[in-house]
Structure 1
Amino acid sequence: MNVSEIDVITPKSVLECLEILAKNRGEYRLIAGGTDAVVRMKDGHFRPSVWINSKDLHSLSFIKQVENEIQIGPLCTHTELIRSPLIREKADLIVEAARQVGATQIQNMGTIGGNVGTASPAGDLIPTLYVLSARIELSSLNGKRVIPVEEFFLGPGKTDMKPNEMITKIIITPQTENELGIFEKLGPRKSQAISIVNVACSLQMDANRKCLGGKIAFGSVGPTVIRARKCESMLTLANLDEEMIENIGEMAWKEVMPISDIRASAGYRRDMAKALLKRGLFRLMKRWEER
């Protein structure tokens, strides 16, 4: 079957899209930018009977702050995330991650909803959503439900989203004035390839270099993104000097659960998880001191 032989439906409203999904028994699949889906289809990994093209659902492209949360529409592209003053000010690690998603053409086409819905353990934006306490809004004709991002992902390519549901909103917690975030990625070629390992980290700091709390999430080292809770528990034990960062890096080596595949061995991924976290923490400390 050629790509051109697959039917495509293009709904003009979210309601029309939900009506189509209400009849879904696994034959339909949503597509946004198509930067990942089309590649998978050409490789023979996934061929739905019908694609539902969501690109005309302009009401699902937004970035706004509502009280103490930031709401992002699933059709926001990586370029829109990078250029958003709100995201740059209050969720800077999303900007860092979006800048490393493929080339400019991919950033212009790929969407945050597609990155989440694909549920790849190596998805670059996903670890940032973990450390920003994201929630995913899922809608169907029966109503809406909101679930924490850590409950949304069930395994590689698997989510808690039902066949009759679609992502309609991604909700994140904005960073506070004393909070900094970073994203680090290791890939075969800079900004052009799927991650071998990636890590997102967000820390709340005081004026004396003391960490008041933080979150760390690794991608591509397990069946889903991994929250490094043991590493997180060490962040507040002492000032984040060179010795402490080295100890946290050692804990990261033990905490991740990578496998060996065609791109890297499990041992190499462990070493790189440790190295990326250490580099990220040193970078965060430098940025804090420069404030």
Structure 2
Amino acid sequence: MRISEMELISPKSVLECLSYLQDTDRDIRLIAGGTDTVVQMKEGKGRPKTWVNIKGIKELRFIREEDDGIHIGPLTTHTDLIKSRIIQYQAQALADAAWEVGATQIRNMGTLGGNLATASPAGDTIPALYVLDAVVELQSIAGKRKVPIEDFFYGPRKTAINRNEMITNIIIQPQKTDEVSIFQKLGPRRAQAISIVNVAIRLRMGKEKRECIGGKIAFGSVAPTVIRAHKCESLLRVSPLTEEMITNIGKVAWKEVAPISDIRASAEYRRDMAGAILERGLYRLMKRWENR
């Protein structure tokens, strides 16, 4: 299929875009940065008759603090996230994850909303959104609704977005002064690679040395969707996060994941590496906390 055979619409507002999505007789798909969409199209997947290009809707690109959390527009790019002081200091795991997305060109074009809508189990920003208690705001002509991140994904490439809806906001909960977070990724090479395994960690620290009083851990690329590691989380509060304790927590990670084998890695390798990158992340977090 040639590009000339496709219709392209470029709305200037959310309301105009939603009016197009109301047309149920039309084969429509939204496109923003296109970093995932174009790849799928070249593979013969997801080729609608009409593209709705939302890249020009300026009201969907923002990062701002409000009373209920940090609000991020779906057209916010990965580069925007990296450069934002709000994200750097109050959502470190998301800043780390955005930095791990592809090369500079991909980070400049790819958007947070696009990462969510693509719903890849290996999406780098998604585990970070899990540990930051993200809520996804969906809007249609009829109104808005909010979906917690853990209810948003149904499976690979499947989300809670209805045909007449679009993502208009992502709300995350900022780190408190006693919290620290991080994102870790294992890929087949140092850069521009899809994750073999990734993990985001958010810890709440106590007053004693390496005392953890709570935390969240989310793994990507080890199940049909990103998963929370509840068994590992329960161990965070057992004793100070010494090297021995971190090693023990890493050993439990294999019980949390349910990976598959594919061209990038075997299920067994992913299971082993889940524990390894969790350990590495916890070690780095302790250094980050002690050097704050």
Judge same fold: TM > 0.5, yes or no. Answer: yes
Shift of 1:281: 0.2
Counterpart CA distance in 2 for 1:4 and 1:64 is 39
Amino acid at match of 2:270: R
Shift of 1:116: 0.5
Counterpart CA distance in 2 for 1:76 and 1:137 is 14
Counterpart CA distance in 2 for 1:237 and 1:254 is 18
After superposition, give the CA deviation of every residue in 1:132-184 in whole Å (9 maximum; x if it has no partner).
00000000001000010000000000001000000000000000011111100
The answer to whether the 8 A contact 1:154-1:224 is kept is yes
Change (3 A) 1:87 1:26: farther
Shift of 1:122: 0.3
Worse-superposed segment, 57-66 or 4-13: 4-13
Worse-superposed segment, 158-167 or 36-45: 36-45
Counterpart CA distance in 2 for 1:177 and 1:118 is 33
Worse-superposed segment, 152-161 or 61-70: 61-70
- Which residue of structure 1 aligns with residue 89 of structure 2? 89
Change (3 A) 1:197 1:228: same
- Which residue of structure 2 aligns with residue 182 of structure 1? 182
Give the alignment of 1:10-25 within 5 angstroms: 10-24=10-24
Change (3 A) 1:207 1:262: same
- Which residue of structure 1 aligns with residue 275 of structure 2? 274
Shift of 1:216: 0.3
Give the alignment of 1:20-35 within 5 angstroms: 20-24=20-24, 27-35=27-35
Shift of 1:27: 1.6
Give the alignment of 1:38-49 within 5 angstroms: 38-49=38-49
- Which residue of structure 2 aligns with residue 257 of structure 1? 258
Shift of 1:197: 0.6
Q: Does 1:241 find its partner at 2:266?
A: no
- Backbone CA RMSD of aligned residues: 1.0
Shift of 1:12: 1.1
Amino acid at match of 1:52: V
Amino acid at match of 2:279: K
- Which residue of structure 1 aligns with residue 127 of structure 2? 127
> Identity of aligned pairs, percent?
63
- Which residue of structure 2 aligns with residue 158 of structure 1? 158
The answer to whether the 8 A contact 1:60-1:76 is kept is yes
- Which residue of structure 2 aligns with residue 219 of structure 1? 220
The answer to whether the 8 A contact 2:26-2:50 is kept is no
Counterpart CA distance in 2 for 1:124 and 1:178 is 25
Give the alignment of 1:59-208 within 5 angstroms: 59-208=59-208
Shift of 1:260: 0.5
Shift of 1:191: 2.5
Q: Does 1:285 find its partner at 2:289?
A: no
The answer to whether the 8 A contact 1:116-1:126 is kept is yes
Q: Secondary structure at the match of 1:277?
A: helix
Amino acid at match of 1:224: T
Shift of 1:289: 1.9
Amino acid at match of 2:201: C
Shift of 1:45: 2.1
The answer to whether the 8 A contact 1:25-1:163 is kept is no
The answer to whether the 8 A contact 2:77-2:109 is kept is yes
- Which residue of structure 2 aligns with residue 5 of structure 1? 5
Shift of 1:25: 5.3
Amino acid at match of 1:131: V
Counterpart CA distance in 2 for 1:26 and 1:284 is 49
Worse-superposed segment, 181-190 or 103-112: 181-190
Counterpart CA distance in 2 for 1:39 and 1:24 is 26
Counterpart CA distance in 2 for 1:65 and 1:263 is 39
**TM-score with structure 2 setting the length:** 0.98
Change (3 A) 1:133 1:105: same
Shift of 1:26: 7.2
Counterpart CA distance in 2 for 1:25 and 1:198 is 40
Aligned residues between the structures: 291
Counterpart CA distance in 2 for 1:86 and 1:25 is 42
After superposition, give the CA deviation of every residue in 1:76-113 in whole Å (9 maximum; x if it has no partner).
00000000111111001111110110000000000000
The answer to whether the 8 A contact 2:136-2:149 is kept is yes
Q: Secondary structure at the match of 2:24?
A: coil
Change (3 A) 1:261 1:224: same
